[in-house]
Amino acid sequence: MNGTQMEHESQRPALTILSEEEELFRASFREFAEGEVLPRVNDMEEAGKLDPELIKQCFELGLMAIETPEEYGGAGSTFFNAILAIEELARVDASTSVFVDVQNTLVTNAIIKWGNEEQRKKYLPQMATSKVGAYALSEAGSGSDAFALKTRAVEKDDHYEITGQKLWITNGNEAEIFILFATIDPEAGYKGITAFIVEKEFEGFSVGEKENKLGIRASSTTELILDNCKVPKENVLGEVGKGYKVSIETLNEGRIGIAAQMVGIAQGAYENALKYTAEREQFGKSIDSFQAVQFQLAEMAVDLEAARLLTYNAARLKDAGKPFLKEAAIAKLYTSRVAEKISSKAIELYGGYGYVKDYPVEKFWRDSKIGAIYEGTSNMQLQTIAKLITTGK
């Protein structure tokens, strides 16, 4: 099989049935990614921030409110279509992908599911048109042990005063609306945790330093500082003391989003490897004509196909209202491994060129590493899978 045929094969979706609407969604996402995101990738990587014009276009295209019901200004589409968007964006740039991912799978998803009607009417239209969201759970002492958080919410007359610090907050610089978790009773353990909708302009709220990261460098990852931040009581999301349910269920869905991001990264690295090995000549012929290279490309294709199918399956189960916790954990675990493996192999196939920033594959590898860390480390996914297969709950 020659390089041209391989490139054609790489464009085929995984062997799962996509509806006509889903095919159109995928095509529109890919057109946007290649036409608007790709030309900006290098500049955003160097600047360490997303292009404000690109952010504006994400809203105009409807990428920031894919599942949001039409009555609140959103597209009223499916979780699966959100997954397609995240995948297609990550194929070009993981930073843009996670920017859209957090907005859809974590923030708007939480408000749609847990918000009351007043909260939905107030916040969802804003997030559909102009305002970015962020999800603030992690702290210095609470990573995998998420419920060890120390941020404290003290009840006052008509509001809560929240004090503490949050770390590793994706979209921290761009966001104006935050789903933030604090405890109302440290002695109550997880039963004291409460979710709040916090606006950037609330008194006592500020954004700290942006982290200088290995990968997804254009995505802002920041600290949040809360100094007696005043949050109205009507901004409690869900029930007081039930924030643990909001966080667990939202993150379970968010892990499918991360899996889609990893699939997109793997796809991008794979396609670049296919193209380069078809063009690179050694010993008088393209290197993709050597069996050793062909076998490596074949292994990459197998891993990528399996990763995509696991991710799509988890998303389909979620949309169908069926249990998906185990499938989401498996998808996130496996896709993070595949993205790192395929992008690393792509660097090797490029040889010395793969190791320099003039070529795209080293960025795919750097961007892939976070998949084993955020929204639940690989060890936490293994723990979830082990528990479900041994106890069934």
Tell me which of 22, 161, 174, 375 is the catalytic residue.
375
How many Å apart are CA 290 and CA 338, to the nearest integer? 23
161 tagged catalytic: no
Q: Residue 237: CB partners within 8 Å, gap ≥ 6?
A: 110, 111, 114, 115, 119, 179, 195, 196, 197, 243, 246
How many Å apart are CA 222 and CA 220, to the nearest integer? 6
How many Å apart are CA 226 and CA 245, to the nearest integer? 23
How many Å apart are CA 43 and CA 158, to the nearest integer? 46
Classify 345 in phi/psi space as left (phi over 0), alpha (psi -120 to 50) or beta.
alpha
Q: Are the CB atoms for 104 and 257 separated by under 8 Å?
A: yes
Exposed (0-12), middle (13-18) or buried (19+): which is 177, by Cβ within 10 Å? buried
End-to-end CA distance of the chain: 47
- Rg from Cα positions in the chain: 21
Report the DSSP pairing between strands 236-237 and 281-282. unpaired
List active site positions: 375
